[in-house]
Chain A
């Protein structure tokens, strides 16, 4: 049995990312069918274990499971025994005892997806762990860029905003770099992580200096729930220096892309009508979410997870 997880982009490497992007071309075709569903993962059970709120990630994993004919179990923490104080370990062992093949986990603490394999044989997909990683978001962003601009090799991608608290930024930087793109991070110094020297990226606090060179402007969500600590003087000042306004968008290259992982704070990191900008691919990102998650699940449970049967011959 090949043991596979998607806890970090590091679990995939360039070849894994490319395998998932290739699978996504197939699942994209499936999603255009009259019956957008295949029996590939019939009999498999996928548990969705979300300790943090989520709309699009949870729904897209659930839809992806159904379109692969897998069964999905939804553990929303608000209505489960976690409310009664059940530990993460006990919850995972309980789910595992029900016989699940994959666990999709979102948790407020970094590193939780690495704990799970101690307590379960299921494949683990990280759907966001604290400020650490969110690999399926990075995969769908790579897929969106590849579909619009071709291979990522040599592309210049600029990620703007609250890098410090962003799991999306951490996974995306790894994925973009593995596929050969170059990455520039733009943030005020208070929102730039301390260790970016090891990331293999350029950094700046001057947004306007990089707009014209970028093939992709990736705007991060300002994490308003984490702003009590005053990382920026005011949201208005942040919007003025780092927000993608219509006038800033005018200095973009004509074919470059505007991306955002959602949910969007209109008027903060992007101006209120930027989603409707002709270069915006925000809606494509959402549409590709289901497709990428089908690929991720199939990559773990279909393409790779092999148990050899006696006397079975390859055709």
Chain B
């Protein structure tokens, strides 16, 4: 059983029970290394590139990608963080509370913005993120990097860089940390 405190997935109720390990720490590290190279290849370098990590799960991945890019190219990439709570389409349907304040200390106009998140699921978070991004300027392009694509898309959104494609059931939950990727379920806490 995973310790809910150590996961990046905010739990509204219940406890996360891991059923299987999809990737271990080496797997996550290698996937991020490959994705860093793909980002460089796709954009022919780092010119105008900005990484934006989505709160909560995408932030540490964005920072890791920036470290990799610095190591490969010897050039640092600005990293912003974005909390999309106020742009979500399910406000009033479920409890939507933000996690950490957005930190975007630069204008995004004419930049290539790579959104970074841990898990791509329905695509609704990314839709919200794109709406938020354009409030910070008009980027030249928005790309998407995710560690896990678990399917079940509800919007016409596809990732540009993927750590791993994982078929899942809707009721399952994917937990991504530097130590690996777990697939499990949320079970009601028994009192």
Residues of A that sit less than 8 Å from B by CB: 19, 23, 25-26, 28-30, 33-35, 37-41, 68, 298, 301-309, 312-315
- Please pick, from A19, A26, A306, A314, the residue contacting B92 in the complex, using a CB distance under 8 A: A306
- Please pick, from B95, B137, B170, the residue contacting A313 in the complex, using a CB distance under 8 A: B170
Encode contact with A along B95-124: 1 for CB under 8 Å, 0 otherwise. 111100111100100000000000001101
Which of B25-33, B81-89, B175-183 has 4 or more CB atoms under 8 Å from chain A? B81-89
Q: Is the CB of A301 within 8 A of B92?
A: yes
User: B135 in the interface, Cβ–Cβ < 8 Å?
Assistant: yes
Q: Is the CB of A314 within 8 A of B94?
A: yes
Q: Which residues of B contact A313 (CB under 8 A)?
A: 170-171
Q: Which residue of A lies closest to B104 (CB)?
A: A33
How far is B136's CA from A249's CA once the two chains are assembled, in angstroms? 43
Q: Which residues of A contact B137 (CB under 8 A)?
A: 34
How far is B138's CA from A34's CA once the two chains are assembled, in angstroms? 12
Q: Which residues of B contact A302 (CB under 8 A)?
A: 86, 91-92, 96
Q: Is the CB of A303 within 8 A of B95?
A: yes
- Smallest beta-carbon distance B22→chain A, Å: 18
- Please pick, from A23, A37, A308, A314, the residue contacting B98 in the complex, using a CB distance under 8 A: A23
Check A315/B124 contact, CB under 8 A, given A34-B107, A40-B86.
yes
Q: Is the CB of B94 within 8 A of A304?
A: no
How far is B98's CA from A26's CA once the two chains are assembled, in angstroms? 8
Secondary structure type dominating chain B contacts = loop
Check A26/B83 contact, CB under 8 A, given A33-B136, A34-B137, A35-B135.
yes
How far is B92's CA from A314's CA once the two chains are assembled, in angstroms? 13
Q: Which residues of A contact B95 (CB under 8 A)?
A: 303-304, 306
User: B131 in the interface, Cβ–Cβ < 8 Å?
Assistant: yes
Q: Which residues of A contact B102 (CB under 8 A)?
A: 26, 29-30
- Could you list 5 A-B pairs, sorted by A, with CB under 8 Å? A26-B86, A26-B101, A306-B95, A307-B92, A315-B121
Q: Is the CB of A34 within 8 A of B93?
A: no
How far is B96's CA from A18's CA once the two chains are assembled, in angstroms? 16
Q: Is the CB of A315 within 8 A of B122?
A: yes
Task: Using A25-B101, A68-B86, A315-B124 as known contacts, list a sample of 12 further A-B pairs with CB atoms less than 8 Å apart, ordered by residue number in A.
Answer: A26-B98, A26-B101, A33-B104, A34-B137, A35-B135, A40-B85, A40-B91, A302-B92, A305-B92, A313-B170, A314-B94, A315-B125
- Smallest beta-carbon distance B122→chain A, Å: 6
User: B191 in the interface, Cβ–Cβ < 8 Å?
Assistant: no
Q: Which residues of A contact B121 (CB under 8 A)?
A: 315
- Please pick, from A34, A37, A39, A306, the residue contacting B94 in the complex, using a CB distance under 8 A: A306
In the A-B complex, the 4 residue pairs with the closest CB atoms: A38-B86, A40-B86, A29-B101, A35-B135
Q: Is the CB of A33 within 8 A of B96?
A: no
Number of interface residues of B (CB under 8 A): 30
Check A40/B136 contact, CB under 8 A, given A306-B92, A306-B93.
no
Secondary structure type dominating chain A contacts = loop
User: B12 in the interface, Cβ–Cβ < 8 Å?
Assistant: yes
How far is B84's CA from A39's CA once the two chains are assembled, in angstroms? 11
Q: Which residues of B contact A25 (CB under 8 A)?
A: 101
Q: Is the CB of B135 within 8 A of A33?
A: yes
How far is B92's CA from A38's CA once the two chains are assembled, in angstroms? 15
- Smallest beta-carbon distance B106→chain A, Å: 11
Q: Is the CB of A307 within 8 A of B86?
A: no
How far is B100's CA from A23's CA once the two chains are assembled, in angstroms? 9
- Smallest beta-carbon distance B19→chain A, Å: 18
How far is B103's CA from A303's CA once the two chains are assembled, in angstroms? 21
How far is B114's CA from A73's CA once the two chains are assembled, in angstroms? 40
- Smallest beta-carbon distance A19→chain B, Å: 8
Q: Which residues of A contact B131 (CB under 8 A)?
A: 39
Residue from A41, A68, A302, A304 with most neighbouring chain B CB atoms (10 Å): A302
Q: Is the CB of A312 within 8 A of B94?
A: yes
Q: Is the CB of B93 within 8 A of A30?
A: no
Residue from A23, A40, A308 with most neighbouring chain B CB atoms (10 Å): A40
- Smallest beta-carbon distance A293→chain B, Å: 15
Q: Which residues of B contact A312 (CB under 8 A)?
A: 90, 93-94
Q: Which residues of A contact B86 (CB under 8 A)?
A: 26, 30, 38-40, 68, 298, 302
Q: Which residues of A contact B125 (CB under 8 A)?
A: 315
- Smallest beta-carbon distance A48→chain B, Å: 21
How far is B107's CA from A68's CA once the two chains are assembled, in angstroms? 22
- Smallest beta-carbon distance A250→chain B, Å: 37
Q: Which residues of B contact A314 (CB under 8 A)?
A: 12, 94
Q: Is the CB of A39 within 8 A of B87?
A: yes
- Smallest beta-carbon distance A306→chain B, Å: 6
Q: Which residues of A contact B87 (CB under 8 A)?
A: 38-40
